[in-house]
Chains A and B, each alone.
Chain A
Amino acid sequence: MTEEAKPGDETEARRGAGLERRSLLSLGIAGAAAASLATANGAKAQATGDSKLYAIKDRGRLIVGTGSTNPPWHFQDANGDLAGMDIDMARLLAKGLFDDPEAVEFVIQGSDARIPSLITDKVDIVVQWMTVTPGRAQQVEFTIPYYREGVGLMLLADSQYADFAALRAAGSTITVGGMQNVFLEDWIRKALPEARIDAYDSPDATIQALNARRVDATLSDQSAIRWMMQQAPGRFADSGYGWLPNSYASAVKPGDPTWLNWVNTVYKEAMMGVDFDLFAASYKKWFGVDLEVPKVGFPGEFA
């Protein structure tokens, strides 16, 4: 996959194009490429005035990389408009920048484009249920996380198994459904070592297997369980046990502390400060959970 230099090509442009193509092929290679790019660009010191923050202000709109197929994070609602928790976080940033939550241009991309699109400056920030990992953190800079994801077990509300303890006690008499996936068995066995496992080829078949009581529980992301419970009130229940924690955060191109710090400030104050009501409303809308008002009268460290 090496790029052959063509005579007359402008070196920087060629390197940039090659970088993008390679990045789309492999995140690992993207990491190496990012490192080399960071060295090239990072040589000149970042002056505050050069920050993306001001370029965005001048441009008049924020460009956000996200997806469109994963409720409740980023998906098209009944009107065809983008909606979800990620979308709300992006609009919160636009509100902070321009006092206009609509001043966002969404660039729809697949999950494999999240890092490449940042490195090649296609987007200002990625807000796309991005799991924080040490490997990725060497290629992009993460903001503070706004959600801790994990997996859980969804039951029918009138299931004979009331909760996780009941499922576990049932041993090998229960069947757990999930999407056919390389980790499915490992993930389920971690919590329910003896359960039988049925793998389905789509999320809808998995849910319908639960509806039809073909399986006693399904393995899902915690957020997806909450979303399903929100969509069909009274039909589903959470087993109450979650495992495999991972943090969702936004990511920005490395080397711009001013921009990163501004986003962090907005996120922090959404969760703990002036924009708490907006954050809590989104949270309630997408996950059906009422967040407790942060304890007032103390510094955050004491609450």
Chain B
Amino acid sequence: MIDYHFDWTVITRNAGFLADALLLGLGLAVASLAIGCLIGLLAAYARLSRWRLLSGAVWIYVELIRCIPLLLLIFFLYFGLPELGVRFLDKFETFVAALSIYAGAYMCEVFRAGLESIPRQYVEASKAIGLRPWQRQRYVVLPVMFRITLPSISNNLISLFKDTSLAAAIAVPELTFAARQINANTFRVMEAWLTASALYLLTAYAIAIALRQVERRYAAIR
């Protein structure tokens, strides 16, 4: 065994700090996923649009974001934008913006695939019963599309939750930041990172289980 004396009191003493940090991370992930889904949905429709300029612009957005590490996007928004005169976002808003833009690109591809996988007959049948275009989307296409893409949405939420660890780089006090602060204060590196790992693992797993239940109930493909 390793010759190291664990002192878990540093964790119990900082339990409140770690809990706040974990909740902050979850909050950031949920907010980013919500905004990201909205961006993704609009982008997916735009991507499938007949207007070449619009679908081209979205194609550039998706490819650009998917090919840039999230950390660089965060740095650009946090350190770069203020130098260009954009100053109204604080560190939390900056991070949510970065994660939402990032999530939006991925969700766009998920929704595009979902929209394209909806059988032609559904749309034709809804036309046949006289639904208007927006009614076809609202009552037929979107519900089916969400059921088809539910597993991918779950995947992305778990992934986004883990990505909140990057917020530590811009002084957002989430879980990774809290672990690093405990390291700096106590040099109890093993305890801090093991605890952070366990919290990430448990939380991500809990999200996975919860979403699995939702999928069981609603997913189109069984």
Contacts and interface: CB of A to CB of B under 8 A. Distances in A.
Interface of A: 177, 180-182, 198-201, 205, 208-209, 211-214
Contact of A212 (B79, B180, B184): B79
A195 to B, nearest CB: 14
Interface in B145-204: 168-171, 177, 180-181, 184-185
Nearest to A200: B171
B180 A214 contact: no
Contacts of A208: 79
B169 A214 contact: no
Given A198-B91, A200-B171, A205-B169, A180 B79 contact: no
Nearest to B183: A180
A164 B153 CA distance: 50
Interface of B: 78-83, 87, 91, 168-171, 177, 180-181, 184-185
A180 B78 contact: no
A31 B177 CA distance: 35
B22 to A, nearest CB: 18
A205 B177 CA distance: 14
B169 A201 contact: yes
A209 B80 CA distance: 10
A180 B180 contact: yes
Contacts of B169: 200-201, 205
B91 A180 contact: no
Contacts of B80: 212
B161 to A, nearest CB: 21
Contacts of A182: 184-185
Contacts of A181: 184
Contacts of A198: 91, 171
Contacts of B83: 211-212
Contacts of A205: 79, 169
Given A213-B87, A214-B91, A201 B180 contact: yes
